[in-house]
Amino acid sequence: MDAQRASMSALLTAFLRAEHARHEGPRVFDDHLAPRWFTDEEQGSFRTGLATSLPVWAPDLLDRGLTDSEALQAIVQAQLVPISRHRFAEDEIARQIARGLEQLVVLGAGYDTLAMRNPEWLSGLRLFEVDHPATQQDKRERMARLGWELPPQVEFVPVDFSVDDLAIALRDRGFDPTRSSLFTWLGVTFYLSDDEVRATLRQVASLCRPGSPIVFDYLDAAALDPGRAGAAMQRLQGVMERIGEPFRAAYSADQLATVLASAGFEVVEDLGVREIRERFLGGQPERPTPFEHMRLVRAVRSA
């Protein structure tokens, strides 16, 4: 990733959430504020670019002669598995708030709008948004353009996961390890090395009381194996390499359980794409998209 440029993958996922929010039918996750991040010019640029990328996102539809508008709708539909990860995370946030959660840390926050969408959640809760400095600066500029002010309960914590010490950065911004906490970590692990994933998990564990949860997504081990990865995943990997944000880490469920255990966590649930579709998408049949390799995990800090 270019250290001076906001993450293109973070912008793209925010745009896809925005397009899903505009959909008139049932929504997996309703980020109704996401469309406001983008100017009309940006929206047009994203729509044009995505409409021509059907071979990456929904290759099974190539022979149907779709219009650009239909292609865009199909691509957003193909994104429902990664969009559902936000539902997975916010279901856990709501559950922990009901139990008296005091601190929420959103790792790789990107263009998350939780603080603006759910202001009632901030009562009695401190929210720490952690992300790369360049992405966070771009988010601040977009907020200023929209007239959005950062709520006093929210703290921005600039961190480059590849070089910075997360634990130190959070403590410096007021995080209190003695208070109850929840960490979410969406759309980040793929872009880190295995060493960086392990180091981040150890740092999170050092900040957590026993029983504290973390929820995140990751790629299964087949995703980065040319002999086992689906054709759509291989095409997406090529796209990500071209924009300078290649996928780097992937694990089998057993491997990840071992990684978590070595950091001090126990797996509570680990969902593959079939379970994700059953829980959040009404059992929608699997399609040959890159996200057949995505998994969602919830773990807790060991005693």
pLDDT value for 117 = 95
The reply to whether 3 falls in a domain is no
Task: Mention every residue, 6+ apart, whose C-beta is less than 8 A from residue 27.
Answer: 20, 21
Rounded Cα gap, residues 71 and 56, in angstroms: 12
In DSSP terms, which residues pair with 297 in a beta bridge?
Answer: 216, 270
Q: How far apart are CA 108 and CA 87, in angstroms?
A: 16
The residue from 46, 78, 110 where one domain ends is 78
| pLDDT at residue 4 greater than cutoff 80 | no
Statement to judge: residues 120 and 40 lie in one domain: no
**Residues 177, 166 share a domain:** yes
Residue 180 lies in a domain: yes
Domain span at 24: 8-78
Q: Which of 51, 78, 105 is the last residue of a domain?
A: 78
Is 2 inside any structural domain?
Answer: no
Shared domain check, 30 and 47 = yes
Is residue 113 located within the same domain as residue 46?
Answer: no
Confidence of residue 74 (pLDDT cuts 50, 70, 90): confident
Whether residues 133 and 67 fall in one domain: no
Measured CA to CA in angstroms, residue 241 lies from 118, 144, 246, 247, 257 at distances of 35, 32, 4, 8, 28
Of the residues 17, 49, 78, the one at which a domain ends: 78
| Domain match, 30 and 138 both | no
Q: Tokens 């901030």 sit at which residue?
A: 122
For the record, the structure tokens of 266 come out as 């126990």
73 and 137 assigned to the same domain: no
Q: 229, 226, 224, 228: which is closest to 248 by C-alpha?
A: 224
Q: Using an 8 Å Cβ cutoff, are 158 and 136 in contact?
A: yes
CATH number for 125: 3.40.50.150
Tell me: do 22 and 87 sit in the same domain. Answer: no
Nearest CA-CA partner of 266 in 303, 238, 302, 292: 302
CA distance 292 to 231: 11
**pLDDT tens readout for residues 104-140:** 999 999 999 999 999 999 998 999 999 999 999 999 9
Confidence of residue 290 (pLDDT cuts 50, 70, 90): confident
Q: pLDDT band at residue 91, thresholds of 50, 70 and 90?
A: very high
pLDDT band per the 50, 70, 90 thresholds, residue 184? very high
Residues 100 and 74 in one domain: no
37 and 119 in a single domain? The answer is no
The confidence score (pLDDT) of residue 2 equals: 52
